[in-house]
Amino acid sequence: MNLYPMLFESRLVEKMWGGRELSRIANKTLPPEKRIGESWEIFDFPPGSVGADARLATDDPAGWTSVRISNGSLAGMTLHQVMLENPEVLLGRSKTIPTPHGPQFPLLIKFLDARQDLSVQVHPPTRYASNHSNAFVKNECWFVMDHSPDARILIGATPGTTREVFAESIAAGTCEKHLNAVKVKKGETFYLPSGTVHALGAGIVAAEVQTPSDTTYRVFDFNRIEPATGKPRTLHVEPALDCIDFNNDWQSGYAEQSQHDATIVRAPQFTLHRRVKPANATTDLRSGPMRVLIFVEGTGVVTGAGMAVAFTQGTTVLLPSSVASVVSSEEQTVWLEAIAV
């Protein structure tokens, strides 16, 4: 099986907090009158590990929820199928994640459109996940692609906040005052290791790179009612309190906007680089590491192994380990380059 730069069928997920900005910011074709909160770009989940709102009948034949390739000779196959048949050629030195159902692709890539605030939530750290079979570590980061003038995120507990104080504020509906409210700017990156309490704020469109887990514990949802049920969404206060790192230093995972190449996130499971190139530039990407390129600005073409892939803002391309590629930018181009450890 010959591999090449791969494109995928995005999976659009309706969310009560979603909007319509992924059409403008990420060039997605949205279904009419739907609040689309997430566009899943690259994903690979074992059977039964992802919520029903993100499943489709066309999942992997083995029951995995895995993204389908949309270009070239492998079009129609899932990423999971290709990974099983060509693990070393695809992944190189990147490691899969072991599950009871077999190996899992090590990255999850999304675009998010928060028309409303997302819930205040946390993902389980290793100390919790190792003692709870249904909890999985989820380190993630946000790259801000666009935002409304006063948009902010909530990230980490404020200094001096204890579990007891935070638990009381959840019950009183005032937990937001114990969270750091940080105004955002286009091009900034925020790293949120597991255990970081957080909420993406209204008016933000972000690219999200993370370890592939769907384990989320909500502690507060701004008293909203789920339209489908007429009831508040389920909260998970006790496990969330067990998971939150009340000494988290969110600033250690912050990278400001810049017009220079940089490594912006170093997580245990992946590294994220920002690449900034002028118009009419060519960038050689040698074979070796498997790369996922997430284009957040610009237009151009990625070529490799006899395949040419045109990109615009919002295109995600997977470069297999075995494939040497060239990125040719037609205008100033910025992309995020995720490499699994």
E strand or H helix that includes residue 223: none
Q: Which of 20, 35, 55, 218 is catalytic?
A: 218
DSSP-based three-state secondary structure for 268: coil
Instruction: Evaluate whether 6 touches 318 at the Cβ level (below 8 Å).
Output: yes
**With contact defined as beta carbons under 8 Å apart, do 287 and 297 qualify?**
no
Q: How many CB atoms lie within 10 A of CB 166?
A: 22
Percentages helix, strand, coil for the chain, rounded to the nearest 5? Answer: 15, 40, 45
The yes-or-no answer on residue 224 being catalytic is no
Number of CB atoms found within 10 A of residue 297's CB: 18
CB atoms within 10 A of CB 32: 5
Distance, C-alpha 45 to centroid of its chain: 14
Q: Measured between alpha carbons, how far is 223 from 173 in angstroms, rounded to an integer?
A: 8
3-state SS class at 62: coil
Give yes or no for a contact between 321 and 92, defined as CB atoms under 8 angstroms apart: yes
195 SS3 class: coil
CA 79 to CA 268: how far, in whole Å?
Answer: 23
Catalytic residues: 218
